[in-house]
Amino acid sequence: METSTAAPDLKQYRISTIEELNKCRQDRGSFHKYYLATKQVFDNWPYGRKFNVLEQIPEKNYKLFVKAACLYMLNQLADEVEFTDDYLFIRKRKCI
């Protein structure tokens, strides 16, 4: 019998309150280091290419990564980097 595994619900890990956003912005510990690494990846990510979260990020880091990516997206001047609706991919596009 073949079983199919459903994709994880990564949307549940997004930053969804002002309190959570402020907590992430004020963190100067391990989250901040992870955020800086995430920022470096997306600052240098090529336009038009999708980032596959499930392939690039270990499952144990999904929550941390989604929060760091959300903070990165909230800090952008232009909305170039965004999650797809299912949060399984991130795309970077040029804003005109």
pLDDT of residue 23: 93
Determine the pLDDT at residue 78.
84
Assign 3-state DSSP to the chain and report helix, strand, coil percentages, each to 5. Answer: 50, 10, 40
**Encoding tokens for residue 20?**
């959570």
Question: How far apart are the C-alpha atoms of 96 and 91, rounded to whole Å?
Answer: 16
pLDDT digits 0-9 by tens, 36-77: 999 999 999 999 999 999 999 999 999 999 999 999 999 998
| Res 2: pLDDT | 55
Residue 85 has pLDDT above 60, yes or no: yes
CA torsion angle 36 70 92 42 (round to 10): 10
Beta-strand runs (E) in 1-96: 50-52, 81-83, 89-92
